[in-house]
Structure 1
Amino acid sequence: MSLKPFKSIGIGVAFSPNLKANLFEAARLSVFFDAKLFLIHVGEPSDDKTNTLHDFLTSFEKDHLNFEIVFKTGNPVDVILSTSEEKKIDLLILGAVQRERFLKYYVGSIARKITRQANCSILLLIKPSVVRSPCQHIVVNGLKDPKTENTITAAFYVANQLNAKKITIVEEINEDQITVKVDDDKSLRRATIIKERITLRENSRIKEIISHIPKEHTIDRNIKLQPIFGQKGYSIGHYAQISRADLLIMNAPTKMTFWDRLFPHDIEHILTELPTDVLILQ
């Protein structure tokens, strides 16, 4: 994986009440990652729109923010996906929607379609803010998967750029790996021993991955390994919520078929109820 995974960042721009907060979040990340920012507006170009966007971003001139405004008409999903391809965007920022009467967030229909189809990484924001809220704790998946080493490496890069001091790597382990049926004290002890062995094996695998990460990204960080026996996607989302993580980083799903959507698992659990801001890495 490149030590600089995000060279270009895109965000869909709608002239809504959240416009300024969304722009500030995207601009800050572009500065932190030293990336070019593409503002994608689905609609006709106009001087008024262009001037409004420039006015909002004047406070980032001192940071030498490099940005470009893209106007394009058409279906919002198609426009954002095609522009992401054309501009070679590495990270696409999308806003999530708060459910009525509940402090829960879910991905709106347009953002959900983009998330499932995009070939780049996706950042889902649940509470964009004009004033930066520091990122202190990042939770990242550590499941056994070909993509996981890149995901963990990128998580440490993100932590370094955002000055997050704590990283928890969650190893989600399926309960079916515990082959013992627990029905008495003896079987309980056997199940406990099996869990301990699996935990040691998983921790060893993660420590090996961490050993390959540049030292400047791991030094002075509080690194925690957290094995969880449970359902993938749901378990890590719940952990991120109860541990009050500021960012959850996940592998992008390998495939997203009709059946995957019908029977939610892994990333679909996260999309249904976002525990915090979520970064899905390709």
Structure 2
Amino acid sequence: MRYPEQDATPPLVGNAVSHSSFVIRHFSRIQVAEQGRSGESIHVQMIDPSPYRSVAVASTFSPRFEQVLAEAKRIRDRFDSELCLVYVGEKSEETSAKFAAALERISLPKNSPIHYEQGDPATAILRAIERHDVDLIVAGALEKEVVLHPFLGNVARRLLREGRSSVILFTHPAREPEPLRKIVFLVEYSEHGSNSLRRALHLAARENSERVYVVRLITTFDEARAKKEGTPAEADEDAKLEHFVLDLGHTDVPIEVRCIRGNTGFAAADFVKSVEADLLVVPLDPAKNAGQLPPNLEWLMDVIPCNLWVSR
């Protein structure tokens, strides 16, 4: 079900970005029969995403401590998960009192588990994630503004590079979390990618998001490699992306699908900014490259254009 593009955002010429797009409206039934570009009938059924059973929040008594905690509560509520706190430092009457007061102000259970760790902050948090079988860690991006770009702090960077769980980093956490109105999802063609998109759509539905942009990033290197290997042309890439989304079936959120072409992977950041997205979702299959960022997305280790969710 495709509609003419009504609000296409002009490409950023400086980075030689181009994109094609079409819109898929939310479907009215769980069972969906859609006509693909080739005319075949696609019959699919939406499968509920696997929930995050355990969510943890990296906690420090910084000026943004309660803001990050509030964002973690939001994520806990959206996925109906259990929330624990990870704190690197000594347990004392003072820290216990601070946590008790903060939990009460954020309306979290006063008996919420708090895991105390010692040592280097990033190493200690990674150790706690593994020890307590955490599915998703929430943290502040700890950015500093340099030439209008948010730069990741050391802890956030190591959670992305060395972590084996999913990670959500908030660039500007708020005591009263801002709605995630627009979400950009970078496509990975795999079962893990499909499950990650289902999770993203689940969050979008709970957030009453305006739109989810499902984006396929194609760099000039990708195009050169595809040409050498004799893989499908541009029109077929658009059809493949459309089919990938239609296979998900029912969704309660409008989806806009785009193929973005640029000289580098940073074209994705340009697109995120152009649509004023609130959340960028990047699926990383743990079975591929140890769940690490591919070369065309390594810039995320330094600069992120908005809140970031790495789905492992």
TM range (shorter): 0.7 to 0.9
Per-residue CA deviation, residues 34-82 of structure 1 (Å, 9 max, x unaligned), is 2121111111101111111121121444x76872111121222221111
Structure-2 residue corresponding to 1:165 = 210
Distance 1:272 1:60, change over 3 A: closer
Instruction: Pick the structure with more helix per residue.
Output: 1
> In 1, distance between residues paired with 2:218 and 2:146?
34
Measure how far apart 1:205 and its partner are.
3.0
Structure-2 residue corresponding to 1:281 = 311
Matched, 1:131 2:176: yes
- 2:121 paired residue among 76, 83, 88: 76
Using the size of structure 1 for normalisation, the TM-score is: 0.81
Structure-1 residue corresponding to 2:275 = 243
Structure-2 residue corresponding to 1:186 = none
Measure how far apart 1:223 and its partner are.
0.9
Measure how far apart 1:230 and its partner are.
2.6
> In 1, distance between residues paired with 2:110 and 2:146?
37
Q: What is the number of equivalent residue pairs in this alignment?
A: 257
Measure how far apart 1:177 and its partner are.
6.0
Matched, 1:200 2:236: no
Distance 1:45 1:66, change over 3 A: closer
Distance 1:79 1:172, change over 3 A: same
> In 2, distance between residues paired with 1:238 and 1:256?
27
Matches for 1:1-282 after TM superposition, within 5 Å:
3-61=49-107, 67-175=112-220, 194-208=233-247, 210-211=248-249, 215=250, 218-219=251-252, 221-230=253-262, 233-252=265-284, 254-255=288-289, 265-282=295-312
Tell me, yes or no, if the aligned pair for 1:107 and 1:272 is still in contact at 8 Å. yes
Tell me, yes or no, if the aligned pair for 1:237 and 1:270 is still in contact at 8 Å. no
Tell me, yes or no, if the aligned pair for 2:136 and 2:167 is still in contact at 8 Å. yes
Measure how far apart 1:201 and its partner are.
3.1
Measure how far apart 1:90 and its partner are.
0.8
Using the size of structure 2 for normalisation, the TM-score is: 0.74
Measure how far apart 1:101 and its partner are.
4.7
Tell me, yes or no, if the aligned pair for 1:232 and 1:265 is still in contact at 8 Å. no
3-state SS of paired residue (1:56): helix
3-state SS of paired residue (1:97): coil
Distance 1:24 1:101, change over 3 A: same
Letter in 2 for 1:36: E
Structure 2's unaligned 5+ residue stretches are: 1-46, 225-231
> In 1, distance between residues paired with 2:281 and 2:61?
28
Identity over aligned pairs, percent: 23
> In 2, distance between residues paired with 1:266 and 1:6?
28
Tell me, yes or no, if the aligned pair for 2:48 and 2:198 is still in contact at 8 Å. no
Measure how far apart 1:242 and its partner are.
1.1
3-state SS of paired residue (1:119): coil
Structure 1's unaligned 5+ residue stretches are: 180-192
Distance 1:98 1:108, change over 3 A: closer
Measure how far apart 1:110 and its partner are.
2.4
The structure, 1 or 2, with the larger RCO (C-alpha pairs under 8 Å, 6+ apart) is 2
3-state SS of paired residue (1:266): helix
Letter in 2 for 1:279: W
Tell me, yes or no, if the aligned pair for 2:167 and 2:311 is still in contact at 8 Å. yes
Letter in 2 for 1:40: V
Distance 1:70 1:2, change over 3 A: farther
> In 2, distance between residues paired with 1:138 and 1:75?
33
> In 1, distance between residues paired with 2:145 and 2:182?
27
3-state SS of paired residue (2:295): coil
> In 2, distance between residues paired with 1:107 and 1:249?
16
